[in-house]
Amino acid sequence: MADELKYSKLGASTDSFAEMIQRFGVVTVMNADVYEAKDVSEIKCPSGEFGNAGSIIQSYESDTSKKLCRLDTLKIANVTQEGPNKTVTGGQYANPLIKFGKSARLEMQDALGNAAAIDALCGGIMESGTTGPAATDVHALHVGEDFSGPKCIIGDTFFIHQKTGAQVKAKIIFYQFLPDSIFNLSQDAEGDATVFDMNGDLLTTEIKISNKNGDASVVHGAFYSIVDPASVKAAAQN
């Protein structure tokens, strides 16, 4: 009997991203890295062509010089879309004939204040010492009329496979996030602990997407992508 208990019943998950994404549940928030957004023309494969989602993620994660901060205490990260921006109507009953244009926003709340995140996403300015052994330490955080430029946000999370209940890892990339650059500081001894809002607009970025015929050279606009981590590893190996 003792020999039968030498292993855990929890084996390696065989649930694939492809199976999970057919029917999945979202139960938690992401941990995310924030990068200085590359120029759209730079978001390409080494060959010079437009990159797909996996190769774009790999290009950011392999270049830590553009990494600004990490968000690992988020309470929420909600994506909303609105549209259409334009509607063409016609005919006897003026029915809608064509709908065009969407806008998207990402709204995040952090449970903890993070000077680097406030500098990157909320229009704050970190000030460091200029001399002495603590020259790189932040000794002030200034909030004024400054605005932040576009950022790329890459998150790691997991979704729940409805069929098996397994946790399947996923990556989410927001190609160009333009922050509102608003920082609100609430101080209330009687109420709940304050949260820090980091909201902004998602800009359309052209990336390469395979069509239903397997043609991987189709260029199409996207606000964000949910990606199999295995495809990022594959991009790194190519």
Count CB atoms within 10 A of the CB of residue 112: 14
So what's the pLDDT on residue 13?
53
Structure tokens at 15: 């649930």
So what's the pLDDT on residue 93?
96
Residue 37 inside a domain? The answer is yes
**What residue numbers bound the domain in which 226 lies?**
32-87+99-123+139-151+175-237
Q: How far is CA 190 from the centre of its chain?
A: 34
Paired sense of beta strands 151-161 and 167-179, if any: antiparallel
Residue 11 has pLDDT above 60, yes or no: no
Per the prediction, the chain carries an average pLDDT of: 87
Residue 163 inside a domain? The answer is no
Residue 54 inside a domain? The answer is yes
Residue 14 has pLDDT above 70, yes or no: no
- Over the stretch 48-105, which tens digit does the pLDDT of each residue have? 566 889 989 998 998 888 899 999 999 999 999 999 999 999 999 999 999 999 999 9
Residue 67 inside a domain? The answer is yes
What mean pLDDT is predicted for residues 115-143?
84
So what's the pLDDT on residue 184?
94
- The strand pairing partners of 219, in sequence order, are 208
CA distance 63 to 56: 11
Residue 5 inside a domain? The answer is no
How many domains does the structure of the chain reveal?
1
Residue 73 inside a domain? The answer is yes
- The strand pairing partners of 223, in sequence order, are none
Residue 156 inside a domain? The answer is no
Residue 152 has pLDDT above 60, yes or no: yes
Residue 139 or 98, more confident: 98
CA distance 202 to 179: 9
What mean pLDDT is predicted for residues 175-203?
93
pTM of the model: 0.88
So what's the pLDDT on residue 1?
47
Lowest-pLDDT choice from 141-145, 189-193, 233-237: 233-237
Backbone angles phi, psi at 2, to 5 degrees: -60, -35
- Residue 179: exposure state from Cβ atoms within 10 A (0-12, 13-18, ≥19): buried
Torsion, Cα 197 203 206 208, to 10 degrees, reads: 20
Residue 34 has pLDDT above 80, yes or no: yes
The answer to whether 163 and 169 have CB atoms below 8 angstroms apart is no
Q: How far is CA 28 from the centre of its chain?
A: 14
Residue 130 inside a domain? The answer is no
Lowest-pLDDT choice from 80-84, 101-105, 139-143, 178-182: 139-143
Residue 45 has pLDDT above 70, yes or no: no
